[in-house]
Amino acid sequence: MHAQLQLLIQAGNPLISVVSHDEEGVTEVVHWSAERLGLPLFEWSITTGMFQKLPAHADVDVKPGKAVHALNYILQNPGKKEIYFLRDLGPHLKDAYVQRQLREIHLKRRVSVVMLDAEPLTEAIRRLAVSVEMPLPTAEELEKVIGETFRDIQHKSYEEITASVSRKDIEQMAQTLRGLTKGEAARVVAAAVYDDNALTPKDLPRMVEYKRNLLKSAGCLETIAVNVTPDEIGGLDNLKLWLAKRRGATTARAREYGLDQPRGILLLGVQGCGKSLCAKVVAADWQIPLLRLDPGVLYQKYIGESETRLREALAQAQAMAPVVLWIDEIEKAFASAASTSSDGGLSQRMFGTLLSWMQDHRSPIFIVATANDIEALPPELMRKGRFDEVFFVDLPDAAARRKILEIHLRRRRRDPGRFALDRIAAATEGFSGAELEQLIVSAMYSAFPRNEEVTDAHLLAERETTKPLSTLMRERVVQLREWAKDRCVPAD
């Protein structure tokens, strides 16, 4: 951004808009540009008023308060080239007088006004201003942040602060911090160091957790803890083999070998059969972060805000790459895109934005999208180039059911060898993986009040009182299987 902002100011652009939450980073770039160009720099905010920052001066008579006074000062500029850095101007644009002042600044073209806001400006002002994006820091920049933060803590602390990390550890920490601003990354590193007065490889899980807490406020993009392995999923052997072949395909070594970046998979199937769990398995197996795009919070009430949130989420995913991007129940997020809707075409625009991004992006982002209702999926989503493969996840067979029962018994500290798993697997035909887990949970609830240890009898008794989804919605499951027979690759 440094060179771009400097060039825009040199070219005489009167209004420059920067939409970013990284105020520290943008301020640093504005100061750098003013120093390189040798121009006076004035700063304004509603709380500080106007003051001359470079060179330092104190004779600006604009007190804290509304933006009208600051813009009047700019309009009265005698004509010499200056830079004005205005923070949070957006809320003031509801005032017609302020809008007119900006139009006159634009017409006179005597100064460069850099406007920093956390949200996009109004459409009328956006058309007058040149937009600049503040990129998130690269992995190399984050490595510097880690070193600088550690040295700063070491210098200020009265206690001994130690470090025992290798070059590989620092690189892994920097990858973990991708998607944060420099200020946010510094706070995450500081929290991890102060936790035990040391910087060690053990701080990596702490950084992941601190980062997850920071990104909770980001809304529609959430970091997910990965605590499963491929061995903890019963069945899906064909899918596991496909993923194993592409392990390491997101690395630079794969690009040097001539391999293209894998784009992602679409998982269709019966509810409760482990589609969502597969996203966690991919991230765990490939040892890259997992991000979940929450479609439910994408849609906002103001015009243009929904599309902006989607673009911000996709841009953040690109900044954090390599990552696995999980879109759960994608058909619900863009259901109206497949039919005539009453939302004024919003769903179709959102869906078009997502499809274009899926087709054009070149970042190491592997998308795992899941869907239960194939009729709600727009046909454009199924076209080759959007996903590498479309898998159908069916109900588990007897061997897979036995494996699933074994996994969930072990999770609950029970020895699978004490159970007749072949008999129980045969008796639970038509059960999904989620239903098999609940079968064990229900059996344990039955045994617990009687101070009994759970046995085959408890499991089989619960089986008799449980109606699986494949029975309750038999016609729907049959229809789904028929549709997928010649269109999808079996996951098992």
pLDDT for 92 equals 94
Quick check: 334 pLDDT over 70?
A: no
d(CA 78, CA 327): 55
Task: Give the other-Cβ count within 10 Å of 360's Cβ.
Answer: 7
Q: Are 181 and 214 spatial neighbours (Cβ–Cβ below 8 Å)?
A: no
Measured from the Cβ of residue 208, the count of other Cβ atoms closer than 10 Å reads: 19
In percent, the amount of the chain with pLDDT more than 90 equals: 38
Better-predicted residue by pLDDT, 435 or 353? 435
As a whole number of angstroms, the longest Cα–Cα distance in the chain is 91
Closest to 134 measured CA to CA, from 241, 44, 36, 5: 5
Q: How far from the centroid of its chain's Cα atoms is residue 340's Cα?
A: 29
Q: In 3D, which of 62, 123, 66, 128 has the Cα closest to residue 91?
A: 66
97 pLDDT above the threshold of 90? yes
**pLDDT above 70 (res 183):** yes
Taking the C-alpha atoms of residue 151 and residue 161, their distance in angstroms, rounded to an integer, is 9
Q: Which two tokens stand for residue 32?
A: 């750098």
pLDDT digits (tens, 9 = 90+) for 210-245: 776 776 655 567 777 777 777 777 788 888 889 888
- For 221-230, the pLDDT digits (tens) are 777 777 777 7
Torsional sign, CA 427, 432, 433, 438: negative
% pLDDT > 70, the chain = 91
Residue type, 160: E
How many residues comprise the chain?
A: 492
Distance of CA 85 to the CA centre of its chain: 30
All structural domains of the chain, each given as residue ranges with its CATH number in brackets, are 2-132 (3.40.50.300), 139-217 (1.10.8), 230-393 (3.40.50.300), 398-472 (1.10.8.60)
Q: How many helices (H) and strands (E) in the chain?
A: 21, 15
Strand locations in 205-356, DSSP E?
221-223, 264-269, 290-293, 323-327
pLDDT tens digits, 128-179: 999 998 888 888 899 999 999 999 999 988 889 999 999 888 988 888 788 7
pLDDT confidence band for 44 (50 / 70 / 90): very high
408 pLDDT more than 90: yes
